[in-house]
Structure 1
Amino acid sequence: MTSFRVRSDPTSELPHDDSVLVLDWEPGRPSATIQIGRQAGARFFDGWRAPREALDLFMLGAAAYCVDKTSMRHSAPDHWTRELHVELPVGSTDRWDNAAVEPVLDFLTGDRWSIRSYHESRSPLADLRRVPEEVTPVAEVDGVCLFSGGLDSLTGVIDLLEEDPDRKLCLLSHNEGDKASTAQQELLAKLRDHYGKERLQDRRLFLRPAPANRHQARPLPPGRENTTRARSLLFLTAALALASSISPTTPVYIPENGFIGINVPLTRARSGSYSTRTTHPFFIKSLGSAIRDLGVENPILNPFRLKTKGQILAETRNPELLESLAPLSISCSHPEAARYVKRPQGNCGYCFPCIIRRASMAQVGWDGAAGYSWDALSGADLLDRNTRRASDLRAVISGVYAERPDRDILRNGPIPDGEHKEFLRVWRTGLDELRDWLNNATGATNALVSGLR
């Protein structure tokens, strides 16, 4: 088991056991091991304050993300499932003792979590000069929308603003200074040009485990895990903190297509937590129940939960705007991979999200190899069976042409609320979109398709 203690009071005693890793929450300070802000200090928190319940929840999201990033899966007996223990400072331990937080984390990351809360009267935002003393709204907006810079979140913002001309949104993005952050800023500027700055506020969260330095009481080990599954919890808990600063009924929107939401494994090797569960309906429902037990009432809404990616593009409320902005969006799992082989960075073209992106854009006539580092339909070097870059494409081809029983829809988790048939339709339609795209393949891809069918 790997143990962590989160401290929001830097003067509190360190764990006597040196093997316990310490996550010090001190926004904007070099002594922090949860790093928030970059050059801009703790600017994310400027001018607003959430209720303590929502701040404690955000602390959980931040801690879970940093725990996930600093605990290496290769050290687990099965090279995946870790045992993770976290001591978390909160305002009310009674609420945390009665909330089913651990099963939510277990399902999301595929690990075994143990969360022990301990009382800390000191606010997580103590000593931050630009934070109000009382609960204060982040902005005069009607909702908070997660904004990754991907195609789904871009479409979601456009549709929400088109649906109600009076609606105002606060867009939340999270980054670690990567290519996605550039896409987020470029898209936000274009959206503001179109809809007006007054309708779109934004908060950008830079948060990660801090690199070791001499100011830290107990620096974190240097290794970083790249199979992180807890990022969505960080993203959602930060959005919930923002929304709760406005009112307990202010919604959090998480626009993501239902096909990737249920994320049925393409092959048996990708079963279970090896397939992400960021917006899986069981995760969203379980998280909603847990946060209500913790005193946070804000609803989490996915407007695309029962649509494929192709459908959300075809049914967008402003197709002209979306088509013009889509090339700026980043849907990729690793948008900076191309720099190592001196290719243009952006959408790599060969990961699963990029393949779904291209298949969905083909549904509306927007597909093309431009804007991708590799062309999955013609790149001979990509289709070499000995390269790891081809693994997602081979899995897609195997998965969409196989005879798949309906029960496969449950392989990444149960479907709650009697919506099995609705998500089954989404899954089958998503497979059809991928199959249609591959059926139009030429050259090397066509040969690979024929060989694997």
Structure 2
Amino acid sequence: MTEYRTRTDLTQPLAPADPGVRVLDWAPGSPTATIQLGKQAGARFLDGWRAPREALDLFLLGATTYCVDKTALRSAAADGWTRSLQVAIPVADPKRWRGTDIGSVLNFLTGDQWTIDVYEEPRSPIEGLRRVPSEVTPVGPVDGVCLFSGGLDSLTGVIDLLEEDSNRRLCLVSHNEGGQASTAQERLLHELRGHYGPDRLVSKQLFLRPAPLNSSQQRPLPHHRENTTRARSLLFLTTALALAASVGPDTPVYIPENGFIGINVPLTRARSGSYSTRTTHPHFVNGLQEAVHRLGVSNPILNPFRLKTKGKILAETLNPELLKRLAPHSVSCSHPEAARYVQKRQGNCGYCFPCLIRRASMAHVGWDTDPQHNYAWDALTGEELLDKSTARSADLRAVINGAFNDRPDRDILRNGPIPNGEHQAFVRVWRDGLRELQDWLRGASDHTRARLERHGYL
């Protein structure tokens, strides 16, 4: 078991008898921190607003679990995947936390065994920060908080929410550690503000990660990093919940992602584990909502696209002209920096699972042939993907096999249970998503289709 302890009061002594405990020091803007918040010395993300303490404790949980996830290597686990993680977190009301099973929510999300211990800390995690108000203060005059990754689903979600109600104002929350994701977020935000006006959008961009080693830290974190991070969605959601709670207890958090990716049925039996993320799986969202309600945070978590495929959300968008113009600037990729190693354009790689779903959805609305939608690798024409069994071709081969195999309805339960009696509704979403993939592949050029047939895919 790997043990972690988060401290918001850095005057607490470290236990010399147990040097194996990894310490996550929360000290925004200070070089002593091992949780880095902000690119520079200042923690500007927290400026000008303050959430109730219950929501701030949730935000600290999200930051803690993200940094734990990033610094505990799966390769060290007995099975190469499932880690045993024990985490101690300071909170205002330990009794209330012990009445929730947040560990089970994390177990489902990341595929690990989490033990969440809490200890009392009267001092707020944002106490003493100069630009943070002393009383609960809203992040801005907004009606909701929307997760904004810079991907195609979140872009469509923002457009539809603003089009649906001309008076609606949103706070967009994003998380990045730099790179192509932050570039896409900034470009799209600029374009959205230009179209809808700056008064309808408040942006909060979170830069948070395990801090690099420096001499001021009392107990630095290991330098290695895990790249299969699954706890990022908890960081994303707890941050959004804190922002929403600063406005009011009923202010909604929107998490726009298509239902096909939400349930994320494994494409093949070999792809359960590491390939089947549960970022917006309805069982995870439902469990998290129940847990945060018990912790005193009542803001609803809503996914407006939960029963739609990616192609359907594009086809039904409330402003197709704007979406079509901005879509090329969105990044839906799992590893958008991969192309730089072979001197290709960075952005959407074209061969990962999210890129393939993106292309099928674009084909559904006739946008896939638009030359503006550049991919570093073309899944339907690149020989190294179609004709060779390589690491880059793994997702394409799995998508082809998964789309054309005859599969029973019960397979939608392979990545988790479906709550609230919505089994059949999600079966329809899954089947519709598979048809979008089939239509895209069957609509390929004669040359490409012949190659797929030669390999037994069609």
| Shorter-chain TM-score range | over 0.9
Moved over 3 A (4+): 442-446
Query: How many Å separate the matches in 1 of 2:238 and 2:449?
Result: 41
Q: Report the counterpart of residue 19 of structure 1 in structure 2.
A: 20
> Structure 1 residue 283: deviation in Å?
0.4
Q: Report the counterpart of residue 375 of structure 1 in structure 2.
A: 378
Matches within 5 A, 1:327-342: 327-342=328-343
Q: Specify whether residues 204 and 5 from structure 1 end up closer, same or farther in structure 2 by C-alpha distance, changes over 3 A only.
A: same
Matches within 5 A, 1:73-112: 73-112=74-113
Q: Report the counterpart of residue 117 of structure 2 in structure 1.
A: 116
Contact 2:442 2:449 in 1 (8 A): no
1:414 aligns with 2:441: no
Q: Report the counterpart of residue 200 of structure 1 in structure 2.
A: 201
Counterpart amino acid of 1:385?
Answer: K
RMSD: 1.1
1:296 aligns with 2:297: yes
User: Could you report, residue by residue, the CA deviation over 1:376-421 in whole angstroms, capped at 9, with x for unpaired residues?
Assistant: 0100123343320000000000101101000000000000010001
Q: Secondary structure at the match of 2:182?
A: helix
Query: How many Å separate the matches in 1 of 2:351 and 2:41?
Result: 35
Query: How many Å separate the matches in 2 of 1:445 and 1:4?
Result: 52
Contact 2:285 2:301 in 1 (8 A): yes
Query: How many Å separate the matches in 1 of 2:251 and 2:450?
Result: 49
> Structure 1 residue 342: deviation in Å?
0.3
> Structure 1 residue 448: deviation in Å?
3.4
Contact 1:398 1:452 in 2 (8 A): no
Q: Specify whether residues 183 and 328 from structure 1 end up closer, same or farther in structure 2 by C-alpha distance, changes over 3 A only.
A: same
Q: Report the counterpart of residue 173 of structure 1 in structure 2.
A: 174
Matches within 5 A, 1:33-432: 33-39=34-40, 41-272=42-273, 274-368=275-369, 370-432=373-435
> Structure 1 residue 450: deviation in Å?
4.4
Query: How many Å separate the matches in 2 of 1:294 and 1:373?
Result: 45
Q: Report the counterpart of residue 9 of structure 2 in structure 1.
A: 9
**Structure 1 stretch displaced more, 270-279 or 213-222:** 270-279
Query: How many Å separate the matches in 2 of 1:383 and 1:122?
Result: 58
Query: How many Å separate the matches in 2 of 1:217 and 1:445?
Result: 60
User: Could you report, residue by residue, the CA deviation over 1:407-442 in whole angstroms, capped at 9, with x for unpaired residues?
Assistant: 000000000010001000000000000000001223
> Structure 1 residue 268: deviation in Å?
0.6
Q: Specify whether residues 221 and 384 from structure 1 end up closer, same or farther in structure 2 by C-alpha distance, changes over 3 A only.
A: farther
Question: What stretches of structure 1 of length at least 5 have no aligned partner?
Answer: none
Q: Secondary structure at the match of 1:44?
A: helix
Query: How many Å separate the matches in 2 of 1:186 and 1:69?
Result: 27
Query: How many Å separate the matches in 2 of 1:446 and 1:264?
Result: 28
Query: How many Å separate the matches in 2 of 1:191 and 1:374?
Result: 28
User: Could you report, residue by residue, the CA deviation over 1:187-210 in whole angstroms, capped at 9, with x for unpaired residues?
Assistant: 000000000000001000000001
Q: Secondary structure at the match of 1:6?
A: strand
Question: What stretches of structure 2 of length at least 5 have no aligned partner?
Answer: none
User: Could you report, residue by residue, the CA deviation over 1:13-53 in whole angstroms, capped at 9, with x for unpaired residues?
Assistant: 11331110000001111110000000262000000000000
Q: Specify whether residues 449 and 65 from structure 1 end up closer, same or farther in structure 2 by C-alpha distance, changes over 3 A only.
A: farther
1:447 aligns with 2:451: yes
User: Could you report, residue by residue, the CA deviation over 1:252-293 in whole angstroms, capped at 9, with x for unpaired residues?
Assistant: 000000000000000111114640000000000000000011
1:438 aligns with 2:437: no
Q: Secondary structure at the match of 1:389?
A: coil
Q: Secondary structure at the match of 2:58?
A: helix
Counterpart amino acid of 1:387?
Answer: T
Contact 1:88 1:117 in 2 (8 A): yes
Counterpart amino acid of 2:75?
Answer: H
Q: Secondary structure at the match of 1:388?
A: coil
> Structure 1 residue 446: deviation in Å?
4.4
Counterpart amino acid of 1:451?
Answer: H
Q: Specify whether residues 373 and 274 from structure 1 end up closer, same or farther in structure 2 by C-alpha distance, changes over 3 A only.
A: closer
Percent of residue pairs bearing the same amino acid type: 69
Counterpart amino acid of 1:162?
Answer: E
Q: Secondary structure at the match of 1:129?
A: coil
Contact 1:4 1:21 in 2 (8 A): yes
> Structure 1 residue 303: deviation in Å?
0.2
Counterpart amino acid of 2:148?
Answer: F
* Aligned residue pairs, count: 453
Counterpart amino acid of 1:11?
Answer: T
Counterpart amino acid of 1:4?
Answer: Y
> Structure 1 residue 449: deviation in Å?
5.0
Query: How many Å separate the matches in 2 of 1:214 and 1:354?
Result: 41
Contact 2:311 2:362 in 1 (8 A): yes
Query: How many Å separate the matches in 2 of 1:103 and 1:213?
Result: 34
User: Could you report, residue by residue, the CA deviation over 1:155-178 in whole angstroms, capped at 9, with x for unpaired residues?
Assistant: 000000000000000000000011
Q: Report the counterpart of residue 31 of structure 1 in structure 2.
A: 32
Q: How high is the TM-score relative to the length of structure 1?
A: 0.98
Q: How high is the TM-score relative to the length of structure 2?
A: 0.97
